[in-house]
Structure 1
Amino acid sequence: MHSAPTGTGQCPPLGVAGLRTSYRNGRLRPREVIELVLDRIARRPQDSVWISRFGDAELRASAGELERRAGRYGHEQLPLYGIPFAVKDNIDVAGLPTTAACPAFSYRPSAHAGSVRRLLDAGALVIGKTNLDQFATGLTGSRSPYGACESVFGGDLISGGSSSGSAVAVAAGLVAFALGTDTAGSGRVPAALNGIVGLKPTRGLVGTSGVVPACRSLDCVSVFSTDVADAADVLDVLAGPDPADPWSRSVPAVTNPSPNRPRIALPEAGALDFDGDTAMAAAFNSAAERAAAVAKGVHRVPLAPLLEAGELLYGGPWVAERLAGLAGFLAEHPDDVLPVTRAVIERGAEFDAVAVFRARHRLQQLRAWCQRLWADADVLLLPTVPTTFTRAEIAEQPVARNLVLGRYTQFANLLDLAAVAIPAGTTGDGRPVGITLLGPAFSEARLLSVASQLSHQEDT
């Protein structure tokens, strides 16, 4: 039996909206919040969340400088004033090493990643760098020489990955929000397995300059938070052109409005595979029924085209894109990469240019099918993960069970979709249940609106 996380004692929660209210009312100052963060980190010394972080004195100094900055200009001008956050350690933070969970790869960036710079300019306080599946290759949170994070639900449940440390840092109340990355589901799977929100924006909406590439044409910077509104506030700061990122994209001038009552697409009967987890199947069916109750209409769709697209990521030539970014390092440091990580990446050598173009042509057909889906639905609702695993179970079958976790996530970037994962209660035996809302590119406002409705429904 797994129980839901119980929080961190009597300390106030570190949500974006709550801290903003406390600052406005004068009940808290950033220096006091830093002390809360340091105390909470000290209470979890062996949790494998952090790869590196700023020293206590540095964090206190940063908070003091922020207070002086606000004294000159007013903290109302800083939308994330005094909000503590964590950063996945494949995203550059000046002053800390970037390792991508591979010590031999470590380097010290001279500048912040574009996403981090936007947050700091908005007044947020970066605490440190978090653990991940090495080179962001994996969805388990178990492929790291810095340790395997456990879900905040305990019971040896995996945290999910690759953004394992970022998700646990938020779920455990160590920070208000965290940055992850999401290529195959790395910003959604750990959200589901820790009972929090995971927002995967449209590719290019948030710049990826200063991010160690996993699959460069598909990579996204993602956001973890405990609340949908908090994720929306953070995205408001992050979104925008990144001149240093050639994959950066601007929001179209005209986007579809968010409906009060959305049309929801659900999988057709028999389309879902929960890997034999009947408790998770029952929990998702209950969540789907609640969503249908607030929908304008329900449209049943096959999942085969989505699953076929997802299989291209690791079973097709997109794995060669991972190799393209790391081939030199792998050749020079073959023994410094975890065997399971190296095996996944080196499969990219099996594909030639003809295979690449064949796969791209098929993907275009699948994208066209997916685009037609939105004529009948505003959002698609799916389970985030089919089931959960313990760290021991992942050790038994590290590759096969990793693929199970990505079944309903890894097609999203290939099909140019936006997504937000939200918690949906627990199974009868106490394991976390997550659902994901997906929509076409640049549908973040619509997805967040529907996610907020469903989250409030879950709370009542």
Structure 2
Amino acid sequence: MKAARDLDQPAFISLLAQDQVRELSKSTPDGPLAGVPFAVKDNIDVAGVPTTAACPALTTAAAEPAFAVRRLQEHGAVPIGKTNLDQFATGLVGTRSPYGACHSVASPGHVSGGSSSGSAVAVALGVVPFALGTDTAGSGRVPAAFNGLVGVKPSRGLVSTRGVLPACPSLDCVTTLTRTVADARVVLDALIGYDPADPYARPMPVAAPAGVARWMRVIAVPDGPMDLDPEHEAAWRAALAHAESVAHVVRVDVGPFLAAARLLYEAAFVAERLAAFGHLLGEDESVDPTVRRIVLGASRFSGADAFAGMHELARLRRRAEQAFLGADALLLPVTPGHPTLAAVATDPVGVNSRLGTFTNMANLLDLSAVAVPAGKRPDGLPFGVQLLAPAFADGPLLDLAARWTGEAAAEPAARTLLAVAGAHLTGQPRNADLVRLGGRLHSRARTGPGYRMYTVDGALPRPGLVRTGDGPSGGIELEVWDLPEPALGALLPTITEPLHLGPLTLDDGSTALGFVADRTCADPTRDITAHGGWRAYLATR
């Protein structure tokens, strides 16, 4: 392990004394984190050490560790120091610190990303196996992407923020930076725990929310070009090709996501930073002038502006939800480019603002997210993408991230699998029957080649799948549901002619029971195969 004092850049603000580290290492419980050293972003409390948030005027030592640090210590991990950050966690560049600017481990001329800059550098250089950061607007994912790391932003409230100096209390998340998804999973498992003393804490639901599959097989990607720098564009095209090898890819409108991202700083939401730490932004010369200007500038917003922003966000959230009806996760670049230190110095606000184009909206829209490496740009700099999914999809999302990086991920054991293509799809009228019977969405899928879809008669609009042999090679949209064995018996009386349960071949070559129709339903005047699925057909009506 590389000594923290030997780093060629200011990754650490303070280090625990060797006798403190030895004392903390004495009695560690058994487990995967026993004796493992970790670094802590310096807006998170470690007992006996000041939490500066990169503001030297803050010198009071923390009386006790943050909830997240305590959880890790209870699992045997040992904190060794506090890491550098964009002051008050306000920035995505890693340069807004009086302790010095960090740079990417791949290039001394390019930014490290922020605000969790020091944590990312410490992990990327091998000083520690993992580090804690925070992510309100991308502060964990951006430095992960710029340093070739895995950056996990859990669902809001899953990891308590008690003991974190707040940036935006309603949006702040404690995050992890690791070199592998496997390491991230171990650390996240230790961190998750409901904290009733945190007003924004939320317990992990016993069952996944509706629409969250246990096994993610469908990735959504933007349906149009992205505004990327040329080197980033080349790496993004390669990432899209890789996505095709990991899952089925569908294209969606990401306009609502990008519009929501702009609200974080362009609308009254920025005033939450003013309320959280504006009182600390006095005339002290150690306060970064850009941070002071951004936060104190939020005083221009009124209460009416705040409510207008909330209403606009609600409208955008409803539109963004549509992307997850037919997909498990959304794939986006983490940033539009990788700026140089010189570019940030020339335009500190504009360059920083652009970096949040694809990350600012995650917490506003209540999404879980993980940034993963996606190779290198043509110039050799690391390139990262992010996978985003609805809240509390954290476990399945990590499985998908592991498959992305080539790590092992075991498909969950199934009970009885039932493939549905019409009225039982998520959000459709008969889906409640599956939920009532104890069903859970197992995965999104498509039929194997050779199937066609027709409208059929019945009390509810519904389709019938017929294996005619000349259906599209790309198949037709399905959902596969995991049901208890008795559920099939309870479901049978609700199935009316001309539909019946029969074997249905999926796009991965496996077979499941499914709602199918016989060849008498293959009426060319009722053929809706060209739409690709029942939802797409309904959207045209």
Give the secondary structure class of the aligned counterpart of 2:364: coil
The 2-side partners of 1:110 and 1:384 are apart by: 36
Look up the match of 1:22. none
The 1-side partners of 2:221 and 2:150 are apart by: 20
The answer to whether the aligner puts 1:100 opposite 2:53 as a matched pair is: yes
Counterpart pick for 1:326 among 241, 265, 277 = 277
Look up the match of 1:302. 253
Look up the match of 1:263. 218
Q: Is the 8 A contact 2:222 2:251 kept in 1?
A: yes
Shift of 1:269: 2.0
1:96-144 superposed Cα distances (whole Å, 9 cap, x missing partner): 1100000113321101000000000000010010000000000000000
The 1-side partners of 2:199 and 2:407 are apart by: 40
The 2-side partners of 1:250 and 1:440 are apart by: 15
Look up the match of 1:273. 227
The 2-side partners of 1:342 and 1:43 are apart by: 32
RMSD: 1.6
Q: Could you tell me which runs of 5 or more consecutive residues in structure 2 were left unpaired when the two chains were aligned.
A: 409-541
> Where is the helix percentage greater, Structure 1 or Structure 2?
1
1:341-360 superposed Cα distances (whole Å, 9 cap, x missing partner): 10010121011010111110
Q: Is the 8 A contact 1:264 1:380 kept in 2?
A: yes
Shift of 1:369: 1.4
Shift of 1:185: 0.1
- Which structure exhibits the higher relative contact order, with contacts defined as CA atoms closer than 8 Å and separated by 6 or more residues? 1
Q: Is the 8 A contact 1:92 1:113 kept in 2?
A: yes
Look up the match of 1:53. 15
Give the secondary structure class of the aligned counterpart of 1:425: strand
The 2-side partners of 1:86 and 1:262 are apart by: 34
Q: Is the 8 A contact 1:100 1:106 kept in 2?
A: no
The 2-side partners of 1:213 and 1:253 are apart by: 29
The 2-side partners of 1:224 and 1:327 are apart by: 28
Choose 1 or 2 for highest CA Rg.
2
> Where is the strand percentage greater, Structure 1 or Structure 2?
2
Identity, in percent, stands at: 49
Q: Is the 8 A contact 1:133 1:139 kept in 2?
A: yes
The answer to whether the aligner puts 1:345 opposite 2:308 as a matched pair is: no
Shift of 1:240: 1.4
Q: Go from structure 1 to structure 2 and tell me whether the alpha carbon gap of 1:343 and 1:95 turns closer, same or farther (over 3 Å shift).
A: same
The answer to whether the aligner puts 1:287 opposite 2:239 as a matched pair is: yes
Give the secondary structure class of the aligned counterpart of 1:253: coil
The 2-side partners of 1:326 and 1:450 are apart by: 37
Shift of 1:61: 3.1
- Residue pairs, 1:336-415, within 5 angstroms: 336-415=286-365
The answer to whether the aligner puts 1:426 opposite 2:352 as a matched pair is: no
Shift of 1:259: 5.2
1:21-77 superposed Cα distances (whole Å, 9 cap, x missing partner): xxxxxxxxxxxxxxx4xx532432x410110111123223332x13xx55xxxx2xx
Shift of 1:374: 1.2
Look up the match of 2:207. 254
Q: Go from structure 1 to structure 2 and tell me whether the alpha carbon gap of 1:457 and 1:51 turns closer, same or farther (over 3 Å shift).
A: closer
| Count of residues in correspondence between the two structures | 406
Counterpart pick for 1:161 among 114, 121, 144 = 114
Shift of 1:88: 0.2
Look up the match of 2:6. 43
Q: Is the 8 A contact 2:243 2:404 kept in 1?
A: yes
Look up the match of 1:211. 164
TM-score, normalised with respect to structure 2: 0.73
Q: Is the 8 A contact 1:258 1:449 kept in 2?
A: no
The 2-side partners of 1:411 and 1:278 are apart by: 24
Shift of 1:457: 7.8
Of stretches 280-289 and 184-193 in structure 1, the one that deviates more from structure 2 is 280-289
Of stretches 164-173 and 151-160 in structure 1, the one that deviates more from structure 2 is 151-160
The 1-side partners of 2:257 and 2:284 are apart by: 35
Shift of 1:429: 1.1
Letter in 2 for 1:318: F
Give the secondary structure class of the aligned counterpart of 1:299: strand
The 2-side partners of 1:251 and 1:361 are apart by: 27
The 2-side partners of 1:370 and 1:59 are apart by: 46
The 1-side partners of 2:67 and 2:50 are apart by: 16
Counterpart pick for 2:24 among 62, 70, 73 = 62
The 2-side partners of 1:259 and 1:161 are apart by: 32
The 2-side partners of 1:109 and 1:321 are apart by: 24
Q: Is the 8 A contact 1:320 1:348 kept in 2?
A: yes
The 1-side partners of 2:224 and 2:341 are apart by: 32
Look up the match of 2:139. 186
Letter in 2 for 1:344: I
Of stretches 253-262 and 423-432 in structure 1, the one that deviates more from structure 2 is 253-262
The 2-side partners of 1:155 and 1:94 are apart by: 33
TM-score, normalised with respect to structure 1: 0.86
1:121-168 superposed Cα distances (whole Å, 9 cap, x missing partner): 000010010000000000000000000011110241110000000000
- Residue pairs, 1:67-82, within 5 angstroms: 69-70=28-29, 75=30, 78-82=31-35
Q: Is the 8 A contact 2:130 2:178 kept in 1?
A: yes
Q: Is the 8 A contact 1:152 1:172 kept in 2?
A: yes
The 2-side partners of 1:103 and 1:448 are apart by: 37
Give the secondary structure class of the aligned counterpart of 1:437: strand
Letter in 1 for 2:13: I
Shift of 1:176: 0.8
Q: Could you tell me which runs of 5 or more consecutive residues in structure 1 were left unpaired when the two chains were aligned.
A: 1-35
1:159-199 superposed Cα distances (whole Å, 9 cap, x missing partner): 00000000000000000100000000001000000000000
Look up the match of 1:312. 263
Look up the match of 2:448. none
